[in-house]
Amino acid sequence: MFRNTYDSDNTVFSPQGRLHQVEYALEAVKQGSAVVGLRSDTHAILVALKRAPSELASFQKKMLRIDNHIGMGFAGLTSDARVLSNYMRQLCLSSRLLYSRPLPVSRLISSLSDRAQLNTMQYGKRPYGVGFLVIGVDSQGPHLYEFSPTGNCFEYFAMALGARSQSAKTFLEHNFESFKDMDLDQLIIQGLNALRDTLQQGKELDADAVSLSIVGPNADADASSPESKGAEKFRIVEGDALKKWLDQLEKRKGPSTTGTGTQAGGNATVGDVEPMEE
């Protein structure tokens, strides 16, 4: 009787001090297909594995555009990702209409985390069962943020979400210090290498099952300014356009060990639990 109370209501803590509904939402993120994010001094990118519900269905989208200078990849419930992405688009549009400027990435993430946190403390609601990696460019340069269903949002140099993401985090930990000086092509190859580590041993990346998104310098420039002509606005690359980078990947080596993410401005943080095999 008492267990059902705190197991189905996110406003009641269990005797161990846990919110089970929040833990269920985090588990949904861990079961989603992998997403990897990296940033350099000039660009931020996301690479993700796409899943198909069945052999008769097309691959599901993993990347969503928010504004010219912001985009995101997600792991977890697609329906929740649509709801939150629409909310993020509304915030960006309001900033352009009211203040005639693009919304700073940090302010967008702060508003997003506030909305998610409310769902962990209000009766009759549930936490969002989706996690984001958000990339963007503003006056401070490129950014990469992780959004969690708990309402926590942190900025990273590199990060991975989803199933089997621990192996990708290990690769990122060992190489993230070199990312800041890389050009776009090198950064993409490093991201694909990290994403490939989330696959089962012996498998390789398929161009049809991979999504890549890129945002670069001047993506937040005003449309009437000279900088907007050469701006690298948020874009999604899929299919045959990815083959030129996939062909440059080296053959896979031995199995990777588990690791953790690398947070901006601090040491490595504890990673998530390795989920069951797909």
Q: Identify the residue whose tokens are 């089962």.
A: 200
33 contact partners, CB below 8 Å, separation of at least 6: 48, 49, 50, 51, 62, 75, 162, 163
**Confidence (pLDDT) at 263:** 62
**Confidence (pLDDT) at 255:** 52
**199-227 burial by CB neighbour count: b if 16+ within 10 A, else e?**
beeeeebeeebbbbbbbbbbbbbeeeeee
Locate 106 and state its tokens. 């940090």
**Confidence (pLDDT) at 66:** 96
- Note the pTM of the prediction, 2 decimals: 0.85
Is residue 211 within 8 Å of 236, Cβ to Cβ?
yes
CATH 3.40.640.10 fits domain 23-248: no
Residues 148, 151: Cα–Cα separation, whole Å: 6
pLDDT in tens, the chain (278 residues): 444 567 777 777 888 878 888 888 889 999 999 999 999 999 999 999 998 877 777 888 899 999 999 999 999 999 999 999 999 999 999 999 999 899 999 999 999 999 999 888 888 888 999 999 999 999 899 999 999 999 899 999 999 999 999 999 999 999 999 999 999 999 999 999 999 999 988 788 988 899 999 999 989 888 777 777 888 999 999 989 999 999 888 776 655 444 455 566 543 333 333 333 33
CA angle 246, 204, 206 (to 5 degrees): 60
For 253, phi then psi, to 5°, come to: -100, -155
In single-letter form, the type of residue at position 86 comes to N
What's the gap between Cα 192 and its chain centre? Answer: 14
Name the CA radius of gyration of the chain, rounded.
Answer: 19
Domain boundaries, the chain: 23-248
Estimate the crossing angle of helix 165-175 against helix 184-196, to 10 degrees. Answer: 140
Question: Within 10 Å of residue 85's Cβ, how many Cβ atoms?
Answer: 19
Residues 270, 260: Cα–Cα separation, whole Å: 5
**Confidence (pLDDT) at 254:** 55
Name the region of 167 (left: φ>0; alpha: ψ -120 to 50; beta: rest): alpha
